[in-house]
Chain A
Amino acid sequence: MANLWRVYLRVFLTFAANSLVRDMSFRANFLIQCISSTSWAVMNLGFYLIIFVHVDEIGPQTGWGKYEFFVFLGTTWIVNSLVQTLFMPNMHEFSELIRTGNLDFALLKPIDTQFLISFQRIEWSSLANALLGVVVVAVGMHQLMTRPEHPLPLSAVTIALYLFYILCGVTILYSLMISLASTSIWLGRNQTLYDFWFYITNFSRYPMEMYRHGWGVVLWGFFTFVVPVLLVINIPARVLARPLYPDPSVAWPLAAFTLVATVGSLIVSRAIFCRAIGSYRSASS
């Protein structure tokens, strides 16, 4: 068992190293990608700064003030950038492998195919956004911890929980992504895959109390319990920034449910992946 872990770790590290060597041989490209992804993020921040020119809080009595929202936004970048670094290029590659029939090679290897497909490439340049996210989270937290009334406490446990829930978030998004990518085995060319991904994850980028009234409740339910993307950023951001809602009676069940959702989506995506591979037809040449 330990040996098996070592094999997988070795393979992963080799992938990471190979990707880095490759990225470094196109340095200009690498730099452009770093700059472009961070500038999108900065622009997004600009949008919220403009909103906070006009209001103090997003949603009445939610506690998502400017600096709480910094934490939220920073967390969004961290989670998304991890997904983009680790999985985005692989999912693109996966569709490409299906189209060209090169998936054959992955199926020949004496190692789990899903693992091989999921980690082959690592896009180091996307990590830039995570760094930016850490900075924004740090700025937000600093402001919250030093505010005159009710300065926010921060403990090692909180940080550990935060990191753990970020991991959960990344896992949930990964599961969604591989499920979507697997469908290209059935649907063939699938350009809308990315759009679909973007639109679905779009729902995760806002504080969940936004959806708490009117027909938003339906969306809230759907994106919490069916496709649990709403937990991806909300839960870790909440652990750290502690906005007003939800109160502890809801917060803990929600945090526990996030664990269930993480494991559940991993299992479901695995099932989808395996079914998809079963109906792979291998394009000739």
Chain B
Amino acid sequence: MNVSAVFSWLQRLRTWWVILKISLEERLVYRGDFMLGTLMRFLPIITQIFLWNAVFQAAGKSTIVGYQFRDVVAYYLLTMVSRAFSSMPGLASGIALQIRSGEVKKFLVQPVDMLTFLLAGRVAHKLAYYSVAVLPFALVFFVCRGYFNGVPPVDVLVAYVLALVMGFLLGFFLESCIGLIGFWFLEVSSLLFVYMLLSFFLSGHMFPLDLLPHPWNRVVDFLPLKYVAYFPAAVFLGKVPRELLWRELAIEAAWIVVFIVLGRLMWRAGVNRYSGYGG
């Protein structure tokens, strides 16, 4: 590697560091917002606990589709972690906005790839957010430790961490594809809404996907959505058979590649279309 390449890498690293620092400061300055915000995220879990408690009591049996009451609670807590990694607030709408305002042009001129740039920013934001939010998370999990069956074995744990990181990547590339639709479609927000809706229901954010009656439980199995919320939680809870673990992760990786490639193609086609307008 020559000197200038090293220099440009350093430069990039520094930009990234600045983004990280600014995000952190932003987190800290609105103290009321931040503290309340992080803790309140867990409030809906409380009502879920009571709801499922009532459901299990009325069911008169200790398991529903293989879930005990405490599994369901643990599941909801774990989807919070999954979503912490995979949710991308403002990503798609931000991309669409940049396209509409013409701000994307700067990525045509500068030697930075937009998606890479956004990914770096996103990592920084997530790091900043959760380096502070880890405390409330830890607190909640400690308080709720009774709902868990201890720590899973090492290979499952490794798969879990992989599933989380890949969930982040999948979430990022999937949502950036939706944002890139903005090249063709002005009104991305309604589309995004449909996505959010489907994702809330079909990613397993709302309930363990195993509860879905046939044939729906098969349908969600073939969708990428389950990897952003359900899958990591299911891995942790041992709901995914050990022999299928690595196969599932491979499928997830394939989905990520699909969306990376799709994003590239869309970007190229979109940029062509853009410059075609001469705008």
In the bound assembly, the distance between CA atoms of A190 and B30 in angstroms comes to: 9
Which B-chain residue is minimally distant from A214 (CB atoms)?
Answer: B53
In the bound assembly, the distance between CA atoms of A60 and B197 in angstroms comes to: 31
Q: Which residues of A contact B141 (CB under 8 A)?
A: none
Given that A43-B197, A195-B37 are known contacts, is A55 also in contact with B59, CB under 8 Å in the complex? yes
Q: Which of B41, B46, B55, B197 contacts A51 (CB 8 A)?
A: B55
- Whether A59 and B58, one on each chain, are in contact in the complex, defined by CB atoms closer than 8 angstroms, is yes
A123-142 at interface with B (beta carbon < 8 Å) = none
A35-92 at interface with B (beta carbon < 8 Å) = 36, 39-40, 43, 46-47, 50-51, 53-60, 62
- Whether B197 and A211, one on each chain, are in contact in the complex, defined by CB atoms closer than 8 angstroms, is no
- Whether B57 and A205, one on each chain, are in contact in the complex, defined by CB atoms closer than 8 angstroms, is no
In the bound assembly, the distance between CA atoms of A55 and B41 in angstroms comes to: 28
Interface string of B126-149 (1 = CB under 8 A from A): 000000000000000000000000
- Whether B201 and A43, one on each chain, are in contact in the complex, defined by CB atoms closer than 8 angstroms, is yes
In the bound assembly, the distance between CA atoms of A199 and B30 in angstroms comes to: 20
Query: Which residues of A approach B to under 8 Å, CB–CB?
Result: 28, 32, 36, 39-40, 43, 46-47, 50-51, 53-60, 62, 187, 189-192, 195-196, 199, 202-203, 205-207, 209-211, 216, 219
- Whether A195 and B40, one on each chain, are in contact in the complex, defined by CB atoms closer than 8 angstroms, is yes
Which B-chain residue is minimally distant from A209 (CB atoms)?
Answer: B54
Q: Which of B46, B47, B58, B213 contacts A57 (CB 8 A)?
A: B58
Given that A47-B207, A54-B65, A59-B58 are known contacts, is A40 also in contact with B44, CB under 8 Å in the complex? no
B200 at the interface (CB under 8 A from A): yes
B33 at the interface (CB under 8 A from A): yes
- Whether B213 and A53, one on each chain, are in contact in the complex, defined by CB atoms closer than 8 angstroms, is yes
Q: Which residues of A contact B40 (CB under 8 A)?
A: 192, 195-196, 199
Q: Which residues of A contact B36 (CB under 8 A)?
A: 192, 195-196
Q: Which residues of A contact B211 (CB under 8 A)?
A: 50-51, 53-54
Q: Which residues of A contact B207 (CB under 8 A)?
A: 47, 50-51
In the bound assembly, the distance between CA atoms of A57 and B59 in angstroms comes to: 8
- Whether A59 and B190, one on each chain, are in contact in the complex, defined by CB atoms closer than 8 angstroms, is no
Q: Which residues of B contact A55 (CB under 8 A)?
A: 55, 58-59, 64
A sample of 15 cross-chain residue pairs with beta-carbon separation below 8 angstroms, ordered by A number, consists of A28-B187, A47-B206, A51-B55, A53-B211, A54-B55, A191-B30, A192-B37, A195-B37, A195-B41, A196-B36, A199-B40, A202-B43, A202-B47, A206-B50, A207-B54
